Chains A and B, each alone.
Chain A
């Protein structure tokens, strides 16, 4: 089974975010980056399917030069090849343009299955995989918690609201978006890190993907990014650990009357 895994490099979860000069995104200088957490689960699922059924895992990302780090990490974990959609025309795309670019790469690779995490933790679009499915005219399913692979179809467990699930049969080729927690992602081993150095990491431009510039023209624009206004409801307790503990107990007894 040939599996195509889409990854995104996003600011590290604990990174302190500061706005850029235009106040339309965060400032990237001094920011540390990591593979988007849901994509880590998608990669792990791809690697497990390959280990069980044979085949190949190809990882792909869009992004500036720094994003190669995410691809190297994926190669170190066991992916076979990496594609970096690295054209300047492919930077800071909106959800539709991102999906167009990735779908073009999928068309060239012709995998049996493409996986994405269920959302990117930075822009939170949560739809790249679904958009790709429509662009490719492939079936898809979202928020997947288990995959049972057959010869020509998959049985996948989709998470629904309120603790419900359902099994869905999806014929291949297909796209799935993977829910966090589906597996326990591995760490890269030293052997894996060394092996990664000899694995192919290919750069692709818009032209390589066979896309005209208008295919990735923006359909939406972020004009401003800002910190949410505080509701003002919260009462902050300040002081040493002992002082805040004391005043909290006081308030829970006398104001909230919950103790």
Chain B
């Protein structure tokens, strides 16, 4: 019997968002490489329509795991719902997108099988019959080839954008959909989640900005923000920041760009002293032109920059302000 790959698709507010389809694309890719069959699973209180939607992809079966106790996501509920499916299906790989929800429950599910998650992967390759997964380590400064040891299942999650939603193979003939009533007891779910909410309305909408000057740890002290503000002023730009700057209280949280802040795509993004950890990149890599100024030539921000300047921002930025002023009067 061919190997199976179980793809766990995330229900985001009643929809299959990009993360779910990227997980399907990842599962299909691994399935082709290893001659395996893809089974998808989606869990929730009302996920029949999502399971039907998944059945339109080129997969062998779509599972809908339902229970009223899955209405609100909980790590314990999802672990309890998925574990018996894994026991029955005996997949070689269990594939997730590396979302906040995956980070919250997939390790728990893996630990139920005495495993950990090989998380946040940027790719994989087949060597003989072995699978080698590529993960970022040291905040993306290095990559690590990581191999699962021991018996399956192997639990693996892929970083957003590693596989593309539009690369999902569709099938003319929908795959069979199986509804499974998850047997859960309310005592097994000890945490009680409340409603999702946002903090007091964001006062700065960076998503509408045409040009953004963003600062990171390289700015060194709050006094030095003046320099960034001056640059923003001559460029008619909004000021943004990476997470550590807002964590330190140097700029308010509503200036934060990245996975836990705003996602922006301006015409010009100037990154000052930002190393470009993935959490920051996901919030700005759609920018049309990216200028990165950083003293570390290995900084991951240069991976996605259009123009890179390796140097001291305290020398480069004042010169840049002067040149922009000159250019404006020309």
**Pairing of A with B:** yes
Q: Chain A interface: which of B50-58, B87-95, B175-183, B197-205?
A: B197-205
Whether A237 touches B309, Cβ cut-off 8 Å, given contacts A165-B199, A228-B142, A245-B319, is yes
Instruction: Give bound CA distance, A169 to B76, whole Å.
Output: 13
- Chain B positions within 8 Å of A225 at CB level: 137, 142-145
The interface-forming segment of B24-32, B38-46, B62-70, B242-250 is B242-250
- Does B243 lie within 8 Å of A180, measured CB to CB? yes
User: Chain B interface residue count: which class?
Assistant: 35 or more
Given contacts A163-B260, A234-B303, contact A258 B308 (CB under 8 A): no
Interface size class of A (residues with CB under 8 A): 35 or more
Cα(A11)–Cα(B139), bound, Å? 11
List of A residues within 8 angstroms of B303 by Cβ: 228, 230-231, 234
Asked if residues A220 and B148 are in contact (CB atoms below 8 Å), the reply is: yes
A24 and B275 alpha carbons, distance in the complex (Å): 23
Contact of B111 among A99, A121, A179, A249 (CB under 8 A): A99
CB distance from A241 to the nearest CB of B (A): 4
Residues of A within 8 A of B6 (CB): none
Q: Which stretch in A43-51, A82-90, A124-132, A190-198 binds the other chain?
A: A124-132
Q: Which of B100, B144, B196, B319 contacts A242 (CB 8 A)?
A: B319
Provide the A221-238 mask, 1 if CB < 8 A to any CB of B, else 0: 111111110110111111
- Interface 9-mer from A61-69, A72-80, A135-143, A204-212: A135-143
Given A130-B108, A225-B143; A220-B149 close (CB under 8 Å):
yes
- Asked if A122 is at the interface of the complex by the 8 Å CB criterion, the answer is yes
**Which residues does chain B contribute within 8 Å of A52, judged by CB atoms?**
none
In the complex with contacts A124-B120, A134-B111, A242-B319, A180-B191 CB distance below 8 A: no
Question: Once bound together, how far apart are the Cα atoms of A134 and B105, in whole Å?
Answer: 10
Q: Report B-chain residues with C-beta under 8 Å of the C-beta of A133.
A: 108
Nearest Cβ in chain B — how far from A70, in angstroms?
18
B136 on the interface (CB 8 Å rule)?
A: yes
Tell me the bound Cα distance from A222 to B217 in angstroms: 30
**How far apart are A154's CB and chain B's nearest CB, in angstroms?**
10
Instruction: Determine the distance from Cα of A143 to Cα of B107 in the docked complex, in whole angstroms.
Output: 14
Chain A positions within 8 Å of B193 at CB level: 158, 166-168
Let me know if A256 and B289 touch, CB within 8 A.
Answer: yes
A127 touching B107, Cβ below 8 Å: yes
A22 at the interface (CB under 8 A from B): no
Check A244/B311 contact, CB under 8 A, given A127-B119, A140-B75, A235-B306.
yes
A159 on the interface (CB 8 Å rule)? yes
> Quick one: CB contact mask for B106-132 with A, threshold 8 Å, 1 for yes?
111011101111111000000000001
Q: Is B305 an interface residue (CB 8 A)?
A: yes
Smallest distance from the beta carbon of B130 to chain A beta carbons, Å?
10
Q: Are A140 and B108 in contact (CB under 8 A)?
A: yes
The verdict on B225 contacting chain A, using a C-beta distance below 8 Å, is: no
CB distance from B194 to the nearest CB of A (A): 4
- Nearest 6 CB-CB pairings of A with B: A181-B247, A127-B107, A134-B111, A245-B319, A95-B116, A130-B107
Q: Write the residues of chain A forming the contact surface with B, with a CB cutoff of 8 angstroms.
A: 11, 13, 17, 26, 94-96, 99, 121-127, 130-131, 133-135, 139-143, 158-171, 179-181, 184, 218-228, 230-231, 233-238, 241-242, 244-246, 248-249, 251-253, 256, 258-259
**Residues of B with Cβ closer than 8 Å to A?**
75-76, 79, 99-100, 103-108, 110-112, 114-120, 132, 135-150, 190-199, 202, 211, 217, 235, 243-244, 246-249, 259-263, 267-268, 288-289, 291-292, 298, 300, 302-312, 315-316, 318-320, 322-324, 326-327
